[in-house]
Amino acid sequence: MKNHRFIALLAATALFGAVARGAEEIVSTEAEGWGATRDTAVQSACVEGVKKINGFLFSTTGTQETSVARSSTTVDGDAHRQTAVLTASEREMQEKVKGAIKGYDIVSCEQEENGEWHAIVTVQVAKYKTPGIDPNSRRKMVIAPFATISAAYSVGAQNVSARATADKFRGKLETFLVQSRRFTILGRQDSDAILAEKNLILRESAEIDEYAKIGAALGTDYLVCGKIADVTVVKGQTQSLFGETSAPKILRARIALDYRILVMPTGQVKWADEVSVDLDADECKALRGDEAAAYDALVDAAARAVCAQALGNIYPVRAARVLDNGEVVLNQGGTLHWEGEMLDAYRLGEVIVDAYNHESLGREESRIALLQVVRVEAKLSYARVIEGEVPAEVVAENRVLCRPTRAVLVETAKPEPSAPSSGVKLPFD
């Protein structure tokens, strides 16, 4: 039996480019297909084989066209129509199926009484294996474009596009969530394409059911959506009692938004909250009148706050180990933590069950210590105990979690070396 090999079917070039950087696994399966000609029947069977292994995005149009082709009668001019319809259907299905055919063997291929060809093939499909941890082991999350309540926001003397602000916030939030290593964040390009296809208008009145439908189409576990209510940066001058006018400086900077985290399989709202960040006087002073820096700091702080709250309610930071020097190792690092950050450590107790529906409400939490982060690495952070105690045996039982003692702090512009008196004062300074 002759083995036919063809590459480039079903976006093979892109796949094998990725395989060169990762690992490849060959999976075989038997599949059958039909077609107006022998070749189309074989190709249809190959596509079915890829679908069996990798799955596919269901297409109503493609199914209807295939049904028309199979039920039609091949008579004179209608034969061309049948072939064209089936070919179009196969082309559409190739665009929907994810995978590449490494090779195939024809088990049988015969023409039936109605003139249609029936093929049975054994297909070898190349599956790409991601290096390191399989991203499919993590829960998937999509960040929908945030709605805005106005066309532009006031940033000093300029008006900044509300859409640009929403995109900037979304990019920041995506970066922080990716660095948390807790979720597989589905690409913005793919999610935006489906959102556009569904013609969903993201607005304040959008119903949860609409988001749930989008989440189902994206195949995600969580969907983050919300609305940016306000971004304001006021720049001006102040006058002293002696009539002296100061240099232009940031007088006020504020961002306010609300967000929801939806659980797609159940359609429930996992968490909903509001976030508002106001730069205090010292933080505004450190910006030296740079409204663009104030704007960036606000968006950055809001994204950090949403990320911290999302992780705190789904994957709170855990103590992973207590070192001999008393430092506590935390299972999260990167840009989500910084030296000097203050955290409360809690000991987890028994599970609390709701008396009405008998659902779990979480576990008892007893505050046992105050921690200060002293070192941050890519995947881990190290903290020293300021007060209280973190028992090593409780950490070993994975029953110690940590939360920020206050809202996420804003990282603003650092002062010039020549002006040591200015800067951002943290609450523990």
Q: How confident is the model at residue 412 (pLDDT cuts 50, 70, 90)?
A: very low
**Among 3.10.129.10, 3.40.50.10610, 3.40.50.720, 3.60.150.10, what is the CATH number of 135-315?**
3.40.50.10610
406 compared with 104, residue with greater pLDDT: 104
Query: What is the residue-averaged pLDDT of the chain?
Result: 75
Could you give the CA distance from residue 69 to residue 163 in angstroms, rounded to a whole number?
46
Model pTM greater than 0.75? no
Q: How confident is the model at residue 87 (pLDDT cuts 50, 70, 90)?
A: very low
Superfamily of domain 316-429 in CATH is FlgT, C-terminal domain (2.40.10.410)
Please tell me the predicted confidence (pLDDT) of residue 113.
87
At 208-224, the pLDDT tens digits run 555 555 555 557 788 88
At 53-85, the pLDDT tens digits run 765 544 333 333 343 333 333 444 444 434 444
With a pLDDT cut of 70, the percent of the chain lying above it is 65
336 compared with 166, residue with greater pLDDT: 166
What is the 3-state secondary structure of the chain? CCEECCCCCCCHHHHHHHHCCCEEEEEEEEEEEEECCHHHHHHHHHHHHHHHHHCECCCHHHHHHHHHHHHCCCCCCHHHHHHHHHHHHHHHHHHHECCEEEEEEEEEEEECCCCCEEEEEEEEEEEEECCCCCHHHCEEEEECCCEECCCEEEECCEEEEHHHHHHHHHHHHHHHHHHCCCEEECCHHHHHHHHHHHCCCCCCCCCHHHHHHHHHHHCCCEEEEEEEEEEEEEEECCECCCCCECCCEEEEEEEEEEEEEEECCCCEEEEEEEEEEECCHHHHHHCCCCHHHHHHHHHHHHHHHHHHHHHHHHCCEEEEEECCCCCEEECCCHHHCCCCCEEEEEEEEEEEECCCCCCEEEEEEEEEEEEEEEEECCCCEEEEEEEECCCHHHHHCCCEEEEECCCCCCCCCCCCCCCCCCCCCCCCC
**Is a pLDDT exceeding 50 seen at residue 46?**
yes
Please tell me the predicted confidence (pLDDT) of residue 329.
96
**113-127, 144-158, 199-213, 291-305 — which is least confidently predicted?**
199-213
At 231-268, the pLDDT tens digits run 999 998 766 666 667 678 899 999 999 999 988 767 77
Q: How far is CA 339 from the centre of its chain?
A: 26
Q: What is the pLDDT averaged over residues 80-98?
A: 44
At 316-332, the pLDDT tens digits run 899 999 999 999 999 98
Question: What token pair was written down for 46?
Answer: 């190959």
Q: What does the domain layout of the chain look like in residue ranges?
A: 3-129, 135-315, 316-429
Select from 4, 121, 139, 123 the least CA-distant residue to 53: 123
